[in-house]
Structure 1
Amino acid sequence: MTKSTKSAAKKPAASKTAPKGASKAAKTAPAPAAAAKVAKTQIIDLVADATTLSKKQAAEAVSSMLDLVVAALKDGKSVGLPGLGTLSVAATAERQGVRPGTSDRITIPAGKKVRFKVASTLKGTL
């Protein structure tokens, strides 16, 4: 490919049916936040950098905190994380559903799920 065909391949042709200014908004729109994910190892690195803890100590602290949150949720307790939100366990009722592909009616049993309510301070800053 020549240089001019490479740049033409990268730029899609502007749609004549799009309203004026729509192409500018699409170009300046930020990337979706769902594409980025912070892994546990990255959290450990950030904790180690923000504190005087070594990476090994930070890993133990983060793992202990996560274990305590999971244990509290298993006991049916809610966990409040100031500035972040509240995790709680909620019961779900038995309900009817449809099996995808076959359209068979099925009964989905009652169960439990974890709910998260965002803190108002975080919600206001997003």
Structure 2
Amino acid sequence: MDKTVTRAMLGESVADATGLSRHDAVQIGERMFELIGDALKRGESVKLSGFGTLDVRSRAERIGRNPRTGQEHRIAPHHTVVLIPSARLRDALEPPKAARKAQK
């Protein structure tokens, strides 16, 4: 599970699957990411059916600790994006029941 999928790889997969040129597939993907980013900046949720919902959450100020030195420091309040996976994605990520029984 240590492989990273890049935008270029996504564009290439879309081009292969649809017959579009690579350039067109990448342009469509880039525009989709722009639209998703713009919606999140406006504080809107983005629902991607079958995948999940992207939502903006506010994080309060807190005290963090450098794990190497143990020194405490202030983490400023900020906004972050969270993915709430759809039921279909959660189910796809779960190991089959037979594999879970074998682990026990």
Q: Shorter-chain TM-score: which interval?
A: 0.7 to 0.9
Over aligned residues, Cα RMSD in angstroms? 1.4
TM-score, length-normalised on structure 1? Answer: 0.67
Quote the Cα distance in structure 1 between the aligned partners of 2:19 and 2:64: 52
How far off its partner does 1:113 sit? 0.8
Give the counterpart letter for 2:77 in structure 1: A
Q: In the alignment, what sits opposite 2:77?
A: 110
Q: Which of 5, 10, 14 is 1:47 aligned to?
A: 14
Q: In the alignment, what sits opposite 1:71?
A: 38
Give the counterpart letter for 1:47 in structure 2: V
Give the counterpart letter for 2:78 in structure 1: G
How far off its partner does 1:74 sit? 1.1
Q: Which one scores higher on RCO, CA 8 angstroms, separation ≥ 6?
A: 2
Q: Which of 93, 100, 103 is 2:60 aligned to?
A: 93
Residues matched between the structures, number: 93
More strand by share: 2
Q: In the alignment, what sits opposite 2:29?
A: 62
TM-score, length-normalised on structure 2? Answer: 0.80
Q: Which of 80, 83, 107 is 2:50 aligned to?
A: 83
Label 1:64 to 1:102 Cα distance change in 2 as closer, same or farther (>3 A): same
In the alignment, structure 1 segments of 5+ residues that lack a partner are: 1-32
Label 1:109 to 1:48 Cα distance change in 2 as closer, same or farther (>3 A): same
How far off its partner does 1:103 sit? 3.4
How far off its partner does 1:124 sit? 1.0
Give the counterpart letter for 1:117 in structure 2: I
Give the counterpart letter for 1:63 in structure 2: E
The percent identity for this pair of structures is 35
Could you say which structure has the larger radius of gyration? Answer: 1
Label 1:119 to 1:103 Cα distance change in 2 as closer, same or farther (>3 A): same
